[in-house]
Amino acid sequence: MARDPLLELADRHLIRYVPGFAPFLVERARGSWVYDRDGNRILDFTSGQICSTLGHNHPRIVEAIRDACDRVLHLNSWMLSEEVVRLAARLAELLPAPLEKVILLNTGSEANEIAMRMAKLATGRFEVAGLDQSFHGLTAGVASVTYSVPHHGYGPQLPGTFALPAPYAFRCPVKRRADGTAGCPGCDLSCLERGFEMFDANSTGTLAAVIAEPVLSAGGVIDPPPGYLRRLAELTRARGGLLIVDEAQTGFGRLGTMFGFEQDGIVPDIVTVSKTLGGGLPLAATVVSPEIEERIVERGFVHVTSHVSDPLPAAVGLAVLDVVIEERLPERAATMGRRLRDGLLELAGRHPLIGEVRGRGLLLGVELVTDRESRRPAEELGARATDECLARGLSMNIVRHVGANSVWRIAPPLTVSEDEIDTALSIMDDSLTAVAAGAGAG
């Protein structure tokens, strides 16, 4: 395929914020598909940056944007609009009590940054712990508890930040896995208990918060065992800290329930939502109880940013939530997720490159290994298999932590059809076969 000449301009003028850009430019996107400037179509099994759970350019989102263009886009931070008030109320309705006080922001990084600032102000403490392999954003504060991206070269991280081991059963951090089976059926959460023992050894007794994703997506779709978040909440609260659950990717249905934390029967102290709330537009929120809100306001909480409480994204958020509820997308994620998982397990039966299939709902991971005995990450073969998929019209992330793992992260829109799932599985099958045979579509 000839290289799009506009990519030369990209080479000249764009900062390379990722190791490599896609080899094509996108002209338009609809539903589960993106279309390049040559008219090729590609199945987008990452929903953009895991944001477009309704599919690309959903008509209800487009309509909400058009409507906002006719009325109001942006306001001074102290002025409120109807959509902002309604979206805050809507989020409070969807979340369990006492989570009913909302601030509307732009990105996941910002929502987590604010969650950490609120936890510090509310508790009067400053230590924050996160899980190894987590991703919570790359602004200075949250980058300190984002452990799936190296900290090297960026100078001091926030004082008082700690990493707890990730509950990565396939590569158990406390080496408890007794047999060669996938997952860790007899997991007793030793890594979590040991992690807090290590934390206590380091802590000055001033834990403000622990932050966690329900499934560690960027770390390689690491799926904590049942009861993990519950125990995490207990251990955090026993030390006087608040539990922040980051639902950036999992909020509004992806795991088969409205929120990921519901599956462990807990209510976090602070919830952040972002990516999936805006359906492709920058919109995020941090939600706390009236008690926490009262305390931080008494202590002088201020967060005035240029786009706090902007009306346009809030109108989009309302449209997204309407569609999520009307089309019962959490249930749909569970059903379609089963079809996709069954297909992946069938592929695992035939392709030894697949070491494990894991995840929940429509957030699934396929860990690629050179062989199942050593479980060595298939870095080179995995990259080739991903390129093969793209050449055949399927875009998926490969999450690669050099020397640590190599995992396909699969997160199609929740509106994905059965046919699209079957097409993706067939492309994965062909690509794995081509890589195993040392051939390729080129």
Cβ partners under 8 Å of residue 82, min gap 6: none
Q: Which of 45, 135, 162, 168 binds ligand PLP (CB under 6 A)?
A: 135
Q: How far is the CB of 260 from ligand PLP (least distance, A)?
A: 10
Radius of gyration of the chain (CA): 22
**Candidate residues 132, 213, 367, 388; the one interacting with ligand PLP per rule CB under 6 A:** 213
Q: How far apart are CA 180 and CA 170, in angstroms?
A: 9
223 sits near ligand PLP (criterion: CB under 6 A): no
Which of 52, 107, 133, 257 binds ligand PLP (CB under 6 A)? It is 107
Q: How far is the CB of 81 from ligand PLP (least distance, A)?
A: 23
Contact pick of 182, 210, 212, 218 for ligand PLP (by CB under 6 A): 218
- Residues 189 and 379: their CA atoms lie apart, in Å, by 29
Which residues are CB-neighbours of 11 under 8 A, at least 6 positions away? none
**Residue 408: beta bridge partners?**
366, 398
Please report how many Cα atoms fall inside a 13 Å half-sphere around the Cα of residue 73, on the Cβ side.
Answer: 5
According to the binding rule CB under 6 A, does residue 108 interact with ligand PLP? yes
| Residue choice 136, 171, 332, 409 for contact with ligand PLP (CB under 6 A) | 136
C-beta atoms surrounding 134 within 10 Å: 24
- Residue selected from 47, 109, 289, 431 as contacting ligand PLP according to rule CB under 6 A: 109
Q: What is the rounded distance in angstroms from the CA atom of residue 69 to the CA atom of residue 216?
A: 37
The runs of H, that is alpha helices, within 45-125 are: 47-50, 59-70, 82-94, 108-123
- Which residue's CB is nearer to ligand PLP, number 213 or number 310? 213
Q: Which residue is nearest to ligand PLP (CB)?
A: 108
Does the protein bind ligand PLP through residue 249 (CB under 6 A)? Answer: yes
* Binding residues for ligand PLP restricted to 259-278, rule: CB under 6 A: 274-275
What tokens appear for 372 in the block? 């199942």
Determine which residue in the list 118, 248, 318, 321 makes contact with ligand PLP, applying CB under 6 A.
248
- Give every strand in the sheet of 284-288, ordered side by side: 101-105, 284-288, 270-273, 242-246, 207-212, 127-131, 161-164
| Contact status: 246 vs ligand PLP (CB under 6 A) | yes
> Which one of 55, 130, 137, 313 is in contact with ligand PLP (CB under 6 A)?
137
Residues that bind ligand PLP (CB under 6 A): 107-109, 112, 135-137, 213, 217-218, 246, 248-249, 274-275
